[in-house]
């Protein structure tokens, strides 16, 4: 029997690239998300390209995030949460509603659904959970601290969950992609040396989750060094920086 991966956020460029990486290794794929049209397009592509079994399930992380679990015929071997919202920092500063959407989409919703999935996997005795977090969570910056703080919370949640679940046969991987060329970053000027393509993220996630069983990865390793330096800038200097 092929193993099954559930991708929460299966309409996104990164989610679809991860789905392709798993399908390429013979896995069955379940794509979850809000847009049935986008999910169906990705599902059909997976079936045509890889001859794999693929299906879709409705999922909104802000509206009853656990409902997605009721629509599953069998519980997946691996669950990847790609859901996220970059939002707009300026708008979030002025509009608590927008700030709440960013905080809830990147932290609260993913944490609630992955927490419940982890409980079920621990009961079963095996499983893998992958959370797509961000280097933005390694230190809050003036230009995107609402998104960054939500990702920081998500990274901390995954860290604690990993420590708890590792004793019960469940592996938890945290992924910090760095810049990736996707719909989310369309129109931004991204430095090519530190910008990954979605398929690079897909391959890195598959390898780290299913082969090398890593705990935390930066897709381009240089990001670990960049964030180490940024994390060590003294606060009295950091607060004067505008980036
Ligand atoms: N691109 C980058 O440079 C970069 C860097 C670091 C981390 N990341 C993270 O990587 C992940 C994927 O990002 P991306 O670049 O591929 O951008 P994206 O296309 O904007 O992906 C965001 C995904 O989240 C889903 N989503 C948003 N709100 C949702 C909700 N309420 N319920 C269910 N799904 C929801 C979107 O679904 P809809 O299609 O329904 O909106 C989409 O599938 C995100 O978590 C992002 O924070 C991206």
34 C-beta closer than 6 A to ligand 1: yes
Q: Taking 90 as the threshold, does the pLDDT of residue 74 lie above it? A: no
Among the residue ranges 38-52, 154-168, 180-194, 200-214, the one predicted with the least confidence is: 180-194
Q: Taking 90 as the threshold, does the pLDDT of residue 242 lie above it? A: no
Please tell me the distance between residue 83's alpha carbon and the centre of ligand 1 in angstroms.
Answer: 5
E strands along 27-126, which residues?
A: 28-33, 54-58, 78-81
Mean local confidence (pLDDT), 95-116: 98
Name the residue with tokens 């669950």.
Answer: 79
31 C-beta closer than 6 A to ligand 1: no
Contact 27, 16 (CB under 8 A): no
137 C-beta closer than 6 A to ligand 1: no
* Cα-Cα-Cα-Cα dihedral sign, residues 42, 47, 48, 49: positive
Q: Which pLDDT band, with edges at 50, 70 and 90, does 136 fall under?
A: very high
DSSP label at 104? I
153 C-beta closer than 6 A to ligand 1: no
Task: Give residue 1's pLDDT.
Answer: 83
Query: In the chain, pLDDT over 90 holds for what percent of residues?
Result: 95
Task: Give residue 149's pLDDT.
Answer: 98
11, 84, 174, 198: residue to mutate for ligand 1 pocket, most atoms within 8 A of CB: 84
83, 102, 200, 204: residue to mutate for ligand 1 pocket, most atoms within 8 A of CB: 83
Task: Give residue 76's pLDDT.
Answer: 98
Q: What's the pLDDT tens digit per position in 30-73? A: 999 999 999 999 999 999 999 999 999 999 999 989 999 998 88
Mean local confidence (pLDDT), 227-235: 97
Name the residue with tokens 């391959």.
Answer: 203
Contact 197, 153 (CB under 8 A): no
Please tell me the distance between residue 22's alpha carbon and the centre of ligand 1 in angstroms.
Answer: 19
Q: How far is CA 36 from CA 39, 63, 114, 181, 201, in A?
A: 5, 16, 22, 23, 24
Task: Give residue 73's pLDDT.
Answer: 85
φ/ψ (deg, to 5) at 54: -145, 140
Q: Taking 90 as the threshold, does the pLDDT of residue 100 lie above it? A: yes
DSSP H/E element including 37: helix 36-50
Q: What's the pLDDT tens digit per position in 150-178? A: 999 999 999 999 999 999 999 999 999 99
Q: How many CB atoms lie within 10 A of CB 60?
A: 15
Mean pLDDT of the chain: 97
Q: Compute the distance between CA of residue 28 and CA of residue 64 in angstroms, rounded to an integer.
A: 25
Q: Which pLDDT band, with edges at 50, 70 and 90, does 85 fall under?
A: very high
């Amino acid at each position: 029997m092929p193993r099954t991966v559930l991708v929460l956020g299966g309409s996104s460029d990164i989610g679809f690239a991860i789905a392709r990486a798993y399908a390429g290794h013979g896995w069955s794929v379940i794509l979850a998300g809000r847009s049935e049209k986008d999910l169906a397009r990705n599902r059909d592509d997976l079936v045509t390209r890889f001859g794999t079994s693929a299906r879709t399930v409705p999922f909104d992380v802000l509206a009853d995030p656990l409902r997605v679990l009721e629509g599953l015929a069998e519980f997946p071997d691996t669950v990847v949460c790609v859901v996220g919202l970059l939002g707009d920092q300026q708008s979030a500063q002025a509009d608590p509603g927008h700030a709440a959407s960013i905080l809830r989409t990147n932290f609260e919703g993913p944490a609630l659904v992955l927490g419940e999935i982890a409980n079920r996997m621990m009961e079963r005795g095996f499983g893998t959970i992958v959370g797509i977090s961000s280097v933005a969570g390694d230190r809050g910056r003036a230009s995107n601290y609402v998104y960054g703080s939500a990702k920081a919370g998500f990274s901390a949640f995954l860290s604690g969950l990993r420590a708890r679940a590792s004793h019960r046969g469940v592996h938890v991987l945290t992924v910090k992609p760095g810049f990736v060329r996707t719909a989310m970053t369309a129109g931004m000027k991204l430095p090519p040396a530190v910008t990954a393509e979605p398929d690079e993220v897909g391959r890195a996630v598959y390898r780290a989750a299913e082969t090398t069983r890593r705990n935390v990865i930066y897709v381009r390793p240089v990001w670990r060094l960049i964030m180490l330096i940024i994390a060590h800038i003294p606060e009295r200097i950091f607060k004067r920086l505008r980036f």
